[in-house]
């Protein structure tokens, strides 16, 4: 690995701060498989309250959270509707097929947002030939769409369609708190349209590990069993939950700084030759950098900036993704713009 000086590959690269580590050091612990870890219980109560759900469950990762949710909502042979660029479809290693024996029905969204009429058309009729629709999943903020915010009224429309048909909804809210901070809309307001909601602490919130899945008491009871089957029943993990509680207390409001940094980065880069940035997409802590340069592809440009200590991921044949987070300062954003300038000039 090159010497990375500015790491914009993801907000997952954040490292626990000394104060977060101190909170972890002092955490009270117990055996969480027996539901006896007081710090985990405290975190779960707080997240359930934050999301307006009866209960919640600590899991090791966002992937496990989504996978446990899909397993809990479905039975083999069913279909899950999702947006074609969502994390569940693109980055969970085929988990829905592997773990739950379900197929995904992907729909194309705009900025990750689905049109309710397309969702309606995708819901299967009651017919022996077709795969029953068991679940609809949405993502907020939407990662591959560039950290875009899912408008709450669009969620409400899909809920109004799904609820009377008895189709549950799951929200991959890995970065839901980015949307909350950017819009001022309460987390509960987003999550009330969903039967289950997953949030992550290991992204912009800066914890080393941890996601929480929230839902009804009945849903969480069932999910707890699947978490155990998936190998996610852990023991004295109050030390991890303490990092998440610290993040809730200290690292939520400051997400606004990451959003400001992403805007600044986008604004600095969009003026460079061979670079296109859709500014409407820059809503939270990500910048999708379209490379339209005679000399560079996303891959070769990301290699060239890495030579100068700046890391960002080429995510497809058109784009580099840059993600701002709590380990990136204002000065580093200016430096990142400068590095792009230099490389594109050379
Ligand atoms: N996203 C990671 C990579 O997996 C792509 C990243 O660098 O952005 N939901 C969403 C929306 C996510 O962006 C991620 C992680 C997850 C779920 C999974 O979380 P983890 O990595 O904890 O399994």
C-alpha span between 95 and 44 (Å, rounded): 25
Task: Reply yes or no on whether the pLDDT at 346 is more than 80.
Answer: no
**Band of residue 2 on the pLDDT scale cut at 50, 70, 90:** low
Question: If you take atom 8 of ligand 1, which residue's CA is the nearest one?
Answer: 10
User: Which of 200, 209, 247, 312 to mutate to test ligand 1, by most ligand atoms within 8 A of the CB atom?
Assistant: 200
Residue showing tokens 């500015």: 6
Per-residue pLDDT of 189-230, as tens digits, reads: 999 999 999 999 999 999 999 999 999 999 999 999 999 999
Q: What integer is the mean pLDDT of 65-93? A: 98
**Band of residue 247 on the pLDDT scale cut at 50, 70, 90:** very high
Q: What integer is the mean pLDDT of 51-76? A: 98
Q: Is 249 helix (H, G, I), strand (E, B) or coil?
A: helix
Distance 172 CA to ligand 1 centre (A): 10
Task: Reply yes or no on whether the pLDDT at 1 is more than 70.
Answer: no
Question: What does the mean pLDDT of the chain come to?
Answer: 97
| Ligand 1 atom with the shortest distance to the CA of 11 | 7
Q: Are 58 and 259 in contact (CB under 8 A)?
A: no
DSSP string, 167-231: --EEEEETTHHHHHHHH---HHHHHTT-SEEEEESSSTT--SS-EEEEE-HHHHHHHHHHHHHTT
C-alpha span between 60 and 230 (Å, rounded): 11
C-alpha span between 287 and 337 (Å, rounded): 12
Share of residues in the chain with pLDDT > 70 (%): 99
Question: If you take atom 19 of ligand 1, which residue's CA is the nearest one?
Answer: 62
C-alpha span between 100 and 92 (Å, rounded): 13
Query: Full-prediction pTM beyond 0.85?
Result: yes
Distance 203 CA to ligand 1 centre (A): 8
User: Which of 66, 69, 91 to mutate to test ligand 1, by most ligand atoms within 8 A of the CB atom?
Assistant: 91
Task: Reply yes or no on whether the pLDDT at 172 is more than 80.
Answer: yes
Residues 6+ apart with CB under 8 A from 151: 113
Exposure b/e, 316-344, CB count within 10 A at least 16 = b: eeebbbbbbbbebeeebbebbbebbeebb
User: Which of 90, 143, 211 to mutate to test ligand 1, by most ligand atoms within 8 A of the CB atom?
Assistant: 143
C-alpha span between 193 and 159 (Å, rounded): 6
Task: Reply yes or no on whether the pLDDT at 95 is more than 70.
Answer: yes
User: Which of 87, 173, 177, 209 to mutate to test ligand 1, by most ligand atoms within 8 A of the CB atom?
Assistant: 87
Helix (H) or strand (E) holding 105: strand 103-107
315: tokens are 């995510």
Q: Are 290 and 278 in contact (CB under 8 A)?
A: yes
Per-residue pLDDT of 294-334, as tens digits, reads: 999 999 999 999 999 999 999 999 999 999 999 999 999 99
| Ligand 1 atom with the shortest distance to the CA of 86 | 11
| Ligand 1 atom with the shortest distance to the CA of 202 | 22
Q: Are 117 and 111 in contact (CB under 8 A)?
A: no
Share of residues in the chain with pLDDT > 90 (%): 99
133: tokens are 């629709």
What per-residue confidence (pLDDT) applies to 303?
A: 98
Write the secondary structure of 265-321 as one string of H (helix), E (strand) and C (coil): HHHHHCCCCCEECCHHHCCCCEEEEEECCCCCCHHHHHHHHHHCCEECEECCCCEEE
**Band of residue 165 on the pLDDT scale cut at 50, 70, 90:** very high
**Number of C-alpha atoms within 13 angstroms, CB side, residue 59?**
31
Domains of the chain: 18-250 (3.40.640.10), 254-345 (3.90.1150.10)
What are the φ and ψ backbone dihedral angles of 169, each rounded to 5 degrees? -125, 140
Question: If you take atom 17 of ligand 1, which residue's CA is the nearest one?
Answer: 62
Any residues with Cβ below 6 Å from ligand 1, and which?
A: 10, 12, 61-63, 66, 87, 91, 139, 143, 172, 174, 200, 202, 211
Distance 174 CA to ligand 1 centre (A): 7
Question: If you take atom 20 of ligand 1, which residue's CA is the nearest one?
Answer: 62
Q: Are 230 and 31 in contact (CB under 8 A)?
A: no
């Amino acid at each position: 690995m090159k010497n990375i000086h500015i790491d914009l590959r993801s907000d997952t690269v954040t490292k626990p701060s000394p104060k977060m580590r101190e909170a972890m050091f002092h955490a009270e612990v117990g055996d969480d498989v027996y539901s006896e870890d007081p710090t985990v219980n405290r975190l779960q109560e707080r997240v359930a309250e934050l999301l307006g759900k009866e209960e919640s469950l600590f899991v090791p990762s966002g992937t496990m959270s989504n996978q446990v949710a899909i397993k809990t909502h479905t039975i083999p042979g069913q279909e899950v509707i999702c947006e074609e660029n969502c994390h569940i479809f693109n980055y969970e290693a085929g988990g829905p097929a592997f773990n739950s024996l379900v197929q995904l029905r992907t729909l194309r969204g705009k900025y990750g947002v689905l049109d309710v009429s397309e969702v309606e058309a995708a819901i299967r009729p009651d017919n022996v030939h077709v795969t029953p629709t068991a679940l609809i999943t949405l993502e907020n903020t939407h990662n591959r769409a560039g950290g875009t915010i899912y408008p709450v009224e669009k969620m409400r429309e899909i809920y109004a369609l799904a609820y009377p048909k008895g189709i549950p909804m799951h929200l991959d809210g890995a970065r839901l708190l980015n949307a909350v901070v950017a819009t001022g809309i309460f987390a509960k307001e987003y999550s009330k349209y969903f039967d289950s909601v997953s949030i992550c602490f290991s992204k912009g919130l800066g914890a080393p590990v941890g996601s929480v899945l929230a839902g009804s008491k009945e849903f969480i009871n069932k999910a707890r069993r699947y978490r155990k089957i998936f190998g996610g029943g852990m023991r004295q993990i109050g030390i991890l939950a303490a990092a998440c509680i610290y993040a809730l207390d200290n690292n939520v409001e400051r997400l606004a700084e990451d959003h400001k940094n992403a805007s600044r980065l986008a604004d600095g880069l969009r003026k460079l030759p061979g670079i296109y940035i859709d500014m409407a997409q820059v809503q939270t802590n990500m910048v999708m950098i379209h490379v339209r340069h005679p000399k560079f592809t996303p891959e070769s440009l990301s290699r060239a900036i890495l030579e100068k200590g700046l890391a960002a991921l080429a995510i497809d044949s058109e784009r580099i993704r840059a993600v701002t987070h709590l380990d990136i300062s204002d000065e580093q954003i200016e430096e990142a713009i400068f590095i792009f300038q230099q490389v594109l000039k050379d």
